[in-house]
Amino acid sequence: MLSFQVFNSGYRPIPSVPGWGEATWPAGTATLIRGEREAILVDALLTVDEGERLAAWVRESGRDLRAVFLTHGHFDHFFGAGPVLGAYAGSRLIACDQQVVDEAVRQTGAEVMARWNALFPGRLAATPPVPSWSGAANLDLEGNPVYLRTIGGADGVLATIAYVPDLRLVCAGDIVYNNIHMWLRNSTPESRKAWLASLDAVATMKPVTVVTGHRDPDAPDDDAARVIDQSRRYIEDFERELAVSGTARELIDRMLARYPDHGNRYTLFASATSQFA
C-alpha cells in the first residue's frame, strides 16, 4: 500500500531585479512516495535551509529513504539534496536519463554556480551533490513499481517524470505548473511546441494526481486534468499574446489580465523580456 505527501518551499526572495523590482523565485515541491517502511523522494529543492527542513520532514514520516529521484537538471530541484542524502546513508541521488545527469553537473560548474550564488547569497551548498544514472527504468518500492520516464522538452532542459501506477500519480517536475507563471524565458515557437507535446505525453498516462515541480502553496488541489489543461492553455495564451504584443510590458499586461492570480510574476517578466531582447 503506497501513499504520498508533498513538501512546498514557498516563494523564495531573491535580490531586486533591474527593470522589475522586488522578486521571488517560484515555490518548489518535493514529493515523498511512501511504502510501509521505505520511501522515495522526488526532487530536493534549493537552499541548504530547505534541504535541512526537507530532511527533518522525511525523518518525521518514519520511513527509510531509498533514493532521491531528480526530474530534470535545473539547480532549484536538487541543490537542497545534501542534508537529505546525509541523513540516509543508504540513499542516493539518481536520474533516469544521462542528459539529466549531464545538465546537473553543468549547473554545478564554477561559472554557473557563481550566477546561482548571486541569486541566493550564502544560502546554497558549496558543492551540491550531483545525480548518477539510475541504470534502470523502474524502481521497486516494496513490490510496487515506480516508473521513471524521459518525456521531452519543457522549460529549457530535458524533462523526465516519476509515475506511480498504484496511486495514478505523476510527479511531473517542470512539465506541468500549478497556479504559477511558467518559465518561458528564452523559449521559441519550437520549444513551446515541444513543451505542449510533453504535456500531451503526461496526459496519455491518465494520472488522477499530478504534483508539479512548481506549485502555488495555496493552489486548491493537484488535480491532473486541471493542472495539465491550465499549463497547456498558458503556453497557448503566451504564444497568442506574444504575436500581438509590441513590447515586453504589453505582453506582461496581457498575460496578467488572463492570469491575475498566478504566483511569481517575476517569472512572467523574465519570460516576456527574453522575447524582446
Binding positions for Zn ion, rule: CB under 5 A: 74, 76, 174
Q: Cβ closer to Zn ion: 74 or 265? A: 74
Taking the complex as a whole, the smallest distance from the CB of residue 155 to Zn ion amounts, in Å, to: 6
Q: Cβ closer to Zn ion: 134 or 267? A: 267
CB 88, CB 62: distance < 8 Å: no
Taking the complex as a whole, the smallest distance from the CB of residue 247 to Zn ion amounts, in Å, to: 27
74: Cβ contacts below 8 Å, ≥ 6 apart: 103, 107, 155, 156, 157, 174
Taking the complex as a whole, the smallest distance from the CB of residue 195 to Zn ion amounts, in Å, to: 13
Q: Cβ closer to Zn ion: 74 or 254? A: 74
Q: Cβ closer to Zn ion: 2 or 184? A: 184
Q: Cβ closer to Zn ion: 2 or 268? A: 268
CA angle 146, 195, 128 (to 5 degrees): 60
The residue nearest Zn ion at its CB is: 174
Taking the complex as a whole, the smallest distance from the CB of residue 28 to Zn ion amounts, in Å, to: 6
CA distance 151 to 228: 14
Q: Cβ closer to Zn ion: 25 or 88? A: 25
Taking the complex as a whole, the smallest distance from the CB of residue 174 to Zn ion amounts, in Å, to: 4
Taking the complex as a whole, the smallest distance from the CB of residue 25 to Zn ion amounts, in Å, to: 9
